[in-house]
Amino acid sequence: MLIEIDFQSEEAIYLQLRNQIILGIASSVLREGDPLPSVRQLADEIGINMHTVNKAYGLLRQEGFVNIDRRRGAVVALDTDKSQALKELRERLQMLLAKSICKNVSREEIHNMVDEIYDAYQTEDGWAHV
């Protein structure tokens, strides 16, 4: 999996890293049981501090995307608590929709965008590589 960090972005590096790993899982580039690179290895590859990678991995563990084991390191292991996922989605979506409404984005534009993004991840026989 290729991780690209935008060092000019206002988004924190650990969040960019976390988000790219989640996108990798959603697009089936990373699958349940796949090991992630060691903290040291990923930090060296990207050219960032090991503590930054540690923070991203810790957040991924907290959010139920990876397990961290002293022997195996970080491994993709999805927590399938759908009710918690829906609760988090509702909370985040509520603010995004409020901002969009303030900017005069229509319901139709929002629906079309959600459908487009969702469809990019799904095929007839499962999940697609985006």
User: pTM of this prediction?
Assistant: 0.74
Q: pLDDT tens digit string along 100-130?
A: 999 999 999 999 999 998 888 775 545 554 4
Summarised one tens digit per residue, pLDDT across range 8-43 is 999 999 999 999 999 999 888 999 999 999 999 999
Please tell me the number of Cα atoms within 13 Å of 49 on its side-chain side: 7
Structural domains of the chain, ranges and CATH numbers in brackets? 13-76 (1.10.10.10), 82-127 (no CATH)
- Using CA atoms of 94, 95, 100, 104 in order, give the dihedral in degrees to the nearest 10: 80
Contacts of 28 (CB under 8 A, 6+ apart): 126, 127, 128, 129
